[in-house]
Amino acid sequence: GWEEPVRRQSDDFADYQAVLDRLIREELVYPAFMSRGEIRAFIAASEKRGRDWPRDPDGVPLYPAVDKAMPMRERQRRIAENAPFAWRLDVDAAMARVGTDLSWLEFSDERLSATRTVHARPQDWGDVIVARREIPTSYHLAVVVDDALQGVSHVVRGQDLYSATGVQRLLQEILGLPQPSYFHHRLVLGPDGRKLSKSLRDTGLAALREAGASPADVRRLIGF
């Protein structure tokens, strides 16, 4: 079972808005106005001049952050004119506010028999999006707020989110939220080494059951 009532993020935007408002007041986020096309063009121009543009652990180029230093009056004008933007975390300002090394407690294996301390590197992700103009949250902000409000003490999820834990640890620290313990389990991969995904229409458990696969067959397919 699970706790009742079930918390739905779409019903609780006010919680995220309150946290976002705090980050805005404390100048730990800024409105970022560059479109995807502008970002690509800026990075291409920089690389053409010989700069090796930094990328996050997933291989995505970091946000240029050229509008981080935009004057407040210009920001306000653009927002008033309904210019598209997203709220991005000023990772340098946030790290300076924390003023200490960040880490998290990671279980070492599926048996959860031992733990180790992992050094967090949120700066590897650059100035990540924490909210959008029309939605006062993002994945990173929502999960740390939800975990805190629901008293989550242990987070179990896939290895594809391992490095992103650093961003969430930074948000937890600057917001004064409790730190869960984490375990990032192995992923189920296809023959090509790619993570299986519903969004890419990979075969799911329901289809395997319909095809007559037994629990033992499924365990063998995923390496157990």
Mean pLDDT (the chain, rounded): 92
User: What sign results for the dihedral spanned by CA atoms 74, 80, 81, 86?
Assistant: positive
Q: Where in the chain is the domain with CATH 3.40.50.620?
A: 9-186
Burial 124-158 (b: 16+ CB within 10 A, else e): bbbbbbbbeeeebbbebbbbbbbbbeeeeeebeee
φ/ψ of 207, rounded to 5, equals -65, -35
Tens of pLDDT along 91-117?
999 999 998 789 999 999 888 889 999
- For the cut 90, the answer to whether the pLDDT of residue 6 exceeds it is no
Tens of pLDDT along 142-151?
999 999 999 9
Q: Are 105 and 181 in contact (CB under 8 A)?
A: yes
d(CA 195, CA 189): 4
Q: Are 29 and 63 in contact (CB under 8 A)?
A: no
Q: Are 31 and 78 in contact (CB under 8 A)?
A: yes
What pLDDT does residue 146 have? 96
d(CA 63, CA 56): 10
pTM of the full structure:
0.88
Give the CATH number of domain 9-186.
3.40.50.620
